[in-house]
Each structure stands twice: as C-alpha cells, then as structure tokens.
Structure 1
Amino acid sequence: MAALEPYKGNYYLWKYLPSLEGAAISAALFGIATIAHTLRLSKNRSWFAVPFPIGGIMEVIGFATRGVARKKTGQLMPYVIQNTLILLAPVFFAASIYMTLGRLIRMTNGERHSIISLKWLTKIFVTGDVLSLLVQGGGAGMMVMDDFAKMAEKIVIGGLFIQIIIFGLFIITVIMFHIRMHGDPVSKHALAGGFGWEPTIWMLYVVSVLVMGRSIFRVAEFVMGNDGYLLSHEWPLYLFDALPMFAVMAVFWHWWPLTPNGA
C-alpha cells in the first residue's frame, strides 16, 4: 500500500499522496489531445502549431510521472519531472497562440490595425515566452534544494509574472486589432484562407483567458508557500491547471486557426 515517505530526514517533497486515478485520466486526455493536434497540424501543414503537441507531450509525461510517484513519494526524480513538466507545458501552448495572431494579421493584410508592427509582434511575444520558460525552468530546478527553496519559489513567481504581463499585452493587442478591424468597412469583411477572420479572434480570447487564469492560480500557489492550502492539496492542481490546459488544447483544435487553403 502506498504511503507518504520523507525525502531526507523529516523533509517531505509531497504534502499528500498523489492520486493515481487523477494522474492516469489526465495523462490519457492529454495524450488524446496531443495525437489530435499532431494529426491536424500535419494534415494542414500548420507548423506554427508545433509547440502545442510538444506541450501536450510534456503534460502526458508529467501526469504519468505523478501516477508513478504515488508509490515513490520519497524519491526526488519523479517529483522533479512531474513538477517541472506540468509547470512549463503551458509556455509552449502560449508560443503557438502568439504566432496565431501574427499569422492572422498577415493573412488579412491587417497590419495597419495592429498596435505592434507585424515585424516585431511575434518576436516580442515569443521572446517573452522563452524568457518566462527559462526563468520558471530555473526556479523549478532549484525547488527541491532545501537551501534554495524560498529563492526558487520567488524565481518561479517571477517567471509566471513575466508570462502574465506578456499575455496581458497580447490580449490588449488582440482586442485593439479586433476593434480596428470592425471599424474599417473593407477589413471588416476580410477573408483569411477563404474564411472569416473573426472565429479565430474569439478562439484567441478564450484560450488567452484560460492560460492567464492558470498563471494567476500558479502565482497564488507559490505566494502562499509550500505549506499553503493550494500546494498542500491536490484538487486545485486539477481544477485550475490540468482542466484549463486541456480546455486550451480542445478549443484550439476545434477552432483551428485558418490555413491558406481554408482547411
């Protein structure tokens, strides 16, 4: 029977026994979503969406490792793998979301309606995304070291704030583009790849809110600390991280960004 075990002395990596059922269901759902994304981007040659299955694979491995960790709560490696991969996977989802806006602006010839030049738009957001990835990854790697645990939490929070700021700017950019396109009689009826551009805008709103909400949850989680309610209970991770990120994959797949041939 699985039991909570200390890592060193009286130091516990886990505050609870991770749920095998929750981990298995999450890994399976993310696995299905990852396969669906891979097939669709291959069919449509939507290479800007490649980060999505990468993030999906990270979610699958992360939650599968949580399941394995149920009987290995005293071992360091399973904890590090699941914590790092689940924390960082949304950064890859964000990369595709950012690139989608640049693609949409280009396909509708709507650069004049963007508050950021198309030349810099994708570069700014993806660079911010990479910076967030590096900062969060560095912090996650330090979290298991007793002497650096508090510093690691602050580093991860910093990386999450970078993500929130970048996403906030992204949402403002999408909103302004949307408003300006509607204000232009010609652009309002523009077609991208043979289809109206607006469904993609609404898709970007939905996935952006989901990723932003998840990032805010993660900040609250780390601000409350290792002994706080959010980190010492498992259900918030599934409700405020796993579920929103699966929803992001599902929404992006269902309202797949427009392709040149409208596929």
Structure 2
Amino acid sequence: MQSFLCYVLFSVFFITAVLANSSLEIRADENDQAPIAGFVPKKLPTYLALGLYGISAAIHWIYFFIVPPRPRYMLSLPIGMLALTIGFILRLQYIAKPSNVGSFIQMDLPCLFLATDYMLLSRLAATFDEKVANECLLIRRSRIVKIFVWSDVSTFLLQASGGGLSSQTDRNIANLGNKLTMVGLVLQAVSFLLFSVSLIIFGMRLRFPEAWSSVNAQPFKLISRQQIDDWRILYYLMCVTCIGISIRSIFRIAEFAGGFDGYIAVHEGYFYIFDALPLWISMSLFCLVWPVRVLNTKHTSEDHEFIVRR
C-alpha cells in the first residue's frame, strides 16, 4: 500500500509540474539556431517523466525475473517501458542540442505496449476451456496476435514512409508524405479500436451472474508474487490500458493534424498530459498486478458455470 501511495504522490507531482509548463514559448537555442521541434523542451518535466518511467521499467524487469514462469511474450512490457525511459534520456540530449536532427529523431523510440495487450488477451482466453474461449472471442485466439501485430507493422511502415517523404524539399512530395503519415496514424488508431471492441465483447459474453459472481475472488496483495485466481482483475487492467493508449492515439492524430508548428506541437505540456501520462498510468498498473500472476490459473466451465451470450 505504501508503494501505491508513493505512485499516487508521484502522479500528482507530475501533473502539477506539467500544468506549470503547459505553455511553452518558441525560442532559439543558445547558438541562435532554430530548434528542430520548434521549441526547446524544459528539463523539469523531462526529469520527472524519466524517473517515473524508469521506476516502472525496473519493477517490470524485477517481476519478469522473480515471478515464475518467465514467458517470452512478457518481455514486450519491460522492454517497451525501458524504450520509453531511454526516449526521455535522449530528450535530455536533444535539449542540449535542439538544432541537431539526429537528436530530434532519436527521441521517438518505438514501444511494444500494443503488442502486449494483443498477447495478453490471447493468453487470458487460453486460461478458459477452448470452447468458451472460441465462443467469446470475435477472432480465433490463435489469430489475434498475428492480425493486430501485422496491422501495427503495416501502419508503422506507412508512417515511416510518410515521414521520409515529408522531409523532402519538393512541396508536392512533402504534402504526400504528410498525408501518408496521417493515414498511418488513423489506421493504427482504428486497428486498436477494433481490438478494444474485441476485448470488451470478450468480457460481455462472460459477464453474467452465472459467470462473474461464481468466480472465487480471494483477497490478493498488490506488488507481490502471489497467484491471483480472479481473471477479472487482469481484464479490468487491460480495459484501463486500452483507454490510456486510445487517448495517446487520438492526441497524436490531433497533434499531427495541427501541423509541425501547430499550437499543440509546440506546447510541450499537451504531450505530457495526453501522451506520456496516460501511457505511464496504464502500464504502471501492471506493476501492481503482474499479468503472469493471473495467467497461471486455469478456469473451467464446470468450475464457474460459464454461459456465453450470443
């Protein structure tokens, strides 16, 4: 509980610092060269974000090594959090050299959180009888990860191609690149929305008194190695995660739609409030309940009298 309260205090401090820096003026660096991002980020929120993401990444790695078993699919969570932590370290490097193109590009490292949710839904469904899992999922369990991961890869490549064209001096080519990037962002958001709908329907098809109230909800400890029998805990956490990622996706679309030098793009506070903060809260919930603690338990229709709604 003390650890949880510490996280709450960190969150409050983080939000307060971000709000204090929500309006950021556009200015040149110390060499009077225009910053690549249109402004020079401030150090205080960067240090706060670095500390928060670093703490969560450390807890994820500790969980991975001390909670058996250690499935490879869970590596996406600590690696993703570590990548974002490194991203904020590189942000500090960019602050020192805001006119350096390489420093600017390195700040935006890819994360693996979307793939984590895809794999968790597939693994959560596997804890039930095969019949129950197949009838409750919109997509076959064996195809969930393949379909959505390939969708993400395709939209990422589309965004990367658009970004490359956007840097061209030819205005027509640059405009084409902007359109491709926007299409990639929108398609990625739509793909994740479809996954979120699949997750919600999975729970709704099990959400009956006969299914949910029959779960043997034993007390469990936060930040522990103790096994959790109640599958609903992980389901709720995944729903919250989907909300955080969706907020981030919508923000990125709005940011890009406003243009490189748009109001949202050059005011750093919006990035922390609608991107870094919701993503950190969503993924840090797994510090309280490591998914493997739930996925180690098998559920049968005989034990819980599951009734599937069509």
Kindly indicate whether the alpha-carbon contact (under 8 Å) linking 2:122 and 2:142 is maintained by their aligned counterparts in 1: no
The amino acid of 1:6's aligned partner reads: Q
Rate the CA distance shift 1:139–1:252 in 2: closer, same or farther, 3 A.
Answer: farther
Of 130, 141, 144, the match for 1:121? 144
Identity across matched positions, percent: 28
The correspondence for 1:158, drawn from 180, 183, 188, is: 183
Q: Residues 4 and 155 from structure 1, CA distance in 2 versus in 1: closer, same or farther, beyond 3 angstroms?
A: farther
- The whole-number CA distance in structure 1 between the counterparts of 2:263 and 2:104 is 19
What does residue 209 of structure 1 align with?
243
Matched residue count: 253
- The one-letter amino acid paired with 2:91 is R
Q: Structure 1 stretch 187-196 or stretch 58-67: which is displaced more?
A: 187-196
Aligned-pair CA distance for 1:186? 5.3
Q: 2: distance between equivalents of 1:25 and 1:125?
A: 32
**Aligned-partner Cα distance in 2 for 1:239–1:122:** 29
What residue is the counterpart of 1:167 in the other structure? 192
- Is the contact made by 2:123 and 2:295 (CA closer than 8 Å) also made in structure 1? no
Q: Please list every run of 5 or more consecutive structure 1 residues that lacks an aligned counterpart in the other structure.
A: none
* Equivalent in 239, 249, 256 of residue 222 of structure 1: 256
Q: Is the 8 A contact 1:5 1:74 kept in 2?
A: no
Tell me, yes or no, if the aligned pair for 1:203 and 1:251 is still in contact at 8 Å: yes
Q: Against the structure 1 CA distance between its residues 238 and 194, is the aligned structure 2 distance closer, same or farther, given a 3 Å change threshold? A: closer
Partner of 1:47: 72
C-alpha change, 1:228 and 1:213, in structure 2 (3 Å) is same
Q: Aligned runs of 1:233-244 on 2, under 5 Å? A: 233-244=267-278
Bigger Rg, which one: 2
Question: Normalized against structure 1, the TM-score is what?
Answer: 0.85
Partner residue of 1:20? 43
Match of 2:126 in 1: 106
Q: Report if the CA contact (8 A) 2:148-2:195 is conserved.
A: yes
Across the aligned residues of Structure 1 and Structure 2, the Cα RMSD in angstroms comes to 2.6
Q: Deviations over 1:72-129 (max 9, x none)?
A: 11111101101x31xx32xx11111111011111102231211111121222122222
Contact 2:258–2:264 (Cα < 8 Å) also in 1: yes
Alignment correspondent of 1:97? 117
Aligned AA (1:259): L
Mapped pair 1:179 → 2:213: no
Does structure 2 conserve the Cα–Cα contact (< 8 Å) formed by 1:108 and 1:190?
no
Structure 2 residues without counterparts, runs of 5 or longer: 1-27, 218-226, 299-310
Bigger RCO (CA 8 Å, 6+ sep): 2
